[in-house]
């Protein structure tokens, strides 16, 4: 009798572990479908003539004919792209972006100052959208001991 009770307890415990595992597995699948937001830091000239920043979400859509989970943003017509390298300590005073562009840091760290002394970092993993074509503009400084390297992607006007 005791043997049957022991087996029943073992089966019950094993069943609980199986249910917990399936529950966790289902939760992992749902979490995998919820992607973290991808944002870009937009530099723009406001009505006050000063450069301000805001975070904008990159919108994604499924890719027709691709496996589930493959997404892409809307296409943007570009005129050129090039890689920029700036030495540690490089500083450029108040200036505007000369063209609308994505700035995608590859390595190093830089600091961009805008209106009111607000500073944002330009480092790998952070995309900037430079649109402050008029007004006072922003400053740019390479911080740390490494070169700052970035891909510039200029939009068609």
> If we measure between CA atoms, which residue out of 111, 117, 118 comes closest to residue 148?
111
**What is the structure's pLDDT at 16?**
42
CA distance 132 to 110: 18
Quick: pLDDT tens for 48-90.
999 999 999 999 999 999 998 899 999 999 999 999 999 999 9
The CA distance from 146 to 62, in Å, is: 38
Task: Provide the token pair at 7.
Answer: 């087996």
Stronger pLDDT, 20 or 150, i.e. the higher one:
150
If you average pLDDT over residues 99-110, what whole number do you get?
A: 98
Is 2 a residue whose pLDDT tops 60? no
The per-residue pLDDT for 4 is 56
Asked if residue 45 has pLDDT above 80, the reply is yes
List, as one string, the DSSP characters of the chain: -HHHHHHHHHHHHHHHHHHHHHHHHHHHHHHHHSPPP-EEEEEEE-TTSSEEEEEEEPP-EEPTTSPTT-EEPPP--EEEEEEEEE-TT-EEEEE--SS-EEEEEEESEEEEE-GGG-EEEE-TT-EEEEE--SSS-EEEEEESSS-EEEEEEEEP-
157 pLDDT tier (thresholds 50, 70, 90): confident
pLDDT at 18 > cutoff 50: no
Confidence band, pLDDT 50/70/90 cuts, at residue 3: low
Quote the percentage of the chain above a pLDDT of 70: 79
d(CA 65, CA 75): 17
The per-residue pLDDT for 48 is 96
What integer is the mean pLDDT of 7-26?
Answer: 46
pLDDT for 10 equals 45
């Amino acid at each position: 009798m005791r043997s049957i009770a022991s087996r029943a307890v073992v089966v019950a415990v094993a069943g609980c572990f199986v249910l917990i595992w399936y529950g966790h597995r289902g939760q992992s699948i749902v979490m995998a479908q919820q992607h973290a937001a991808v944002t870009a830091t937009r530099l723009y000239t406001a009505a006050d003539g000063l450069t301000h920043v805001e975070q904008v979400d990159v919108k994604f859509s499924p890719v027709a004919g691709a496996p589930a989970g493959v997404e892409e943003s809307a296409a943007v017509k570009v005129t050129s792209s090039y890689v920029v390298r700036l030495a540690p300590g490089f500083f450029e005073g108040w200036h505007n972006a000369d063209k609308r562009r994505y700035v995608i840091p590859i390595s190093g760290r830089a600091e961009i100052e805008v209106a009111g002394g607000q500073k944002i970092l330009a480092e790998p993993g952070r995309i900037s959208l430079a649109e402050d074509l008029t007004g006072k503009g922003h400053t740019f400084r390479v911080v740390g001991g490494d070169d700052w390297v970035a891909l510039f992607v200029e939009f068609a006007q």
